[in-house]
Amino acid sequence: MIPQQYISRRWTKNLIHAALRNKRNRYGEKNVVVENFANEATLIVDYCVHLLSKDEIMLGAFVEKLKSLKKDVEADCPNPPLKNKTDNLEQLVGVLKPPVIEVNNPTIGSTKGRKKLRIKRGKDKTTEKSLIGRNSCSLCGGTDHNKRTPG
């Protein structure tokens, strides 16, 4: 995922049409009567939850009533075919997915700039210095002196 600060506004301007992003198209084609009923039902449920938010027992009973109402509605209405994610995206964008993918991801190319001669940070420099072995004295094996200058 690319952070938002690196995405220019002109790249995303009018990417998805405003009418498609609007919540009015959430229930299929735009129908004013259905839209009004959906808004009214949402307002009623929100208001009831707000009233019952302080009383857990009444809120639990309200949820049970909503579950039973949902079961009744599901029993009365025929089961619509389930939509998967690709169908929803095709409907939102308005373009069908092609059967054959013609454009593939590019092959990995070489990066620009210095390949091996990068600027090293302090931690890398110190670890390299610590890995370098110190010269040791050939007589006693100590590292603070050598054979000519005994320490």
Instruction: Quote the number of domains for the chain.
Output: 2
Q: List Cα–Cα distances, 80 to 15, 20, 39, 72, 77, in angstroms.
A: 30, 22, 22, 16, 9
In 3-state terms, what secondary structure has residue 144?
coil
Query: Is 69 in the same domain as 22?
Result: yes
Q: Is the pTM of this model over 0.85?
A: no
**Residue 29 covered by a domain:** yes
pLDDT digits (tens, 9 = 90+) for 27-47: 556 677 888 898 899 999 999
Query: Is 127 in the same domain as 68?
Result: no
Range of the domain at 56: 4-93
What per-residue confidence (pLDDT) applies to 50? 92
Query: Is 23 in the same domain as 61?
Result: yes
Query: Is 18 in the same domain as 76?
Result: yes
Q: Which two tokens stand for residue 56?
A: 């857990």
pLDDT digits (tens, 9 = 90+) for 88-146: 888 888 888 888 888 888 777 776 766 677 778 888 888 887 777 777 888 888 877 88
Looking at residue 98, its amino acid is: P
Query: Is 11 in the same domain as 80?
Result: yes
Query: Is 85 in the same domain as 132?
Result: no
**Residue 145 covered by a domain:** yes
**Residue 78 covered by a domain:** yes
Residue 3: Cβ-neighbour burial (10 angstroms; 0-12, 13-18, 19+): exposed
pLDDT digits (tens, 9 = 90+) for 51-89: 998 999 999 999 999 999 999 988 888 777 777 888 888
**Residue 19 covered by a domain:** yes
